Structure 1
Amino acid sequence: MKRKALIGHLIIPGMITFGAFAVALTHQPLGWEMFSNYIFGGYLYYAAPHLFWAVVAAVTNVQRTVWHAGFIASSIALTAIASVWLGPQDQSGLPLQWMLYWPLAIALQFFIAGGTAIYYRVKKTPNSSIKKADTVL
């Protein structure tokens, strides 16, 4: 089950990779160097925060919810940066936005996955106000 979920999370950078490749095909002729650069290099660049989180989550053995939260944080960062790139086209290729991708992904992983971990840890404690609030709703 976890392997299928991991593959599902890694499909998101793959979709962005193929989107970037499709856009590049409109500007450049297809060749092996172009293909390998956009497909292999692009995927490794886009998937790096996802792969980083996979290693961190495996080493720390986090809860399943926290595990998903880290991947979702990476996907949010990738989607945000890609939407700026795929929207109005800029001749520069928006290098400043793409420079922000990895730091943004790691910051979101820290806050979203960390916040999720803290939430569930507090929820498990006896007499937690979060537990009481959840039962009221």
Structure 2
Amino acid sequence: MKRLAAALLATASIAAAPQAFAQVAGHAALGVSVTELDAVIKGVSVKKQVLGKTIYNEANEKVGNVQDLIVTPENAVSFAIVGAGGFVGVGRHDVAIPVNQFKYDQGKIVLPGATKDAIKALPEFKYERQEKPAKA
């Protein structure tokens, strides 16, 4: 696959694929069908091929790292959280970038037109804080 976005979206669409076996009232099928397994085999491993990987621009300059992927409520991988700058996570500036802006070229994740300064100039991404429920 040439585009990282296409690969990630293909893996995210597995949940929406039709089941190849009948459903029984009161029971849910577990696992994937033979048809779905083909999509899994052709997909991209986020853990091995995306998370923590360096992002380059088209000049082969390092511009950041993939810190996380955001799956929207529609079950699609929509954004990559990219960290730029800093050392060992200290002083890093995280931003959200739509996955359709990335390319996967010869085993490298490429973000055309990116520079470290351009990424640092984007609004910083911060995770929403989840409040812990009060103990009874």
Structure that is richer in helix per residue: 1
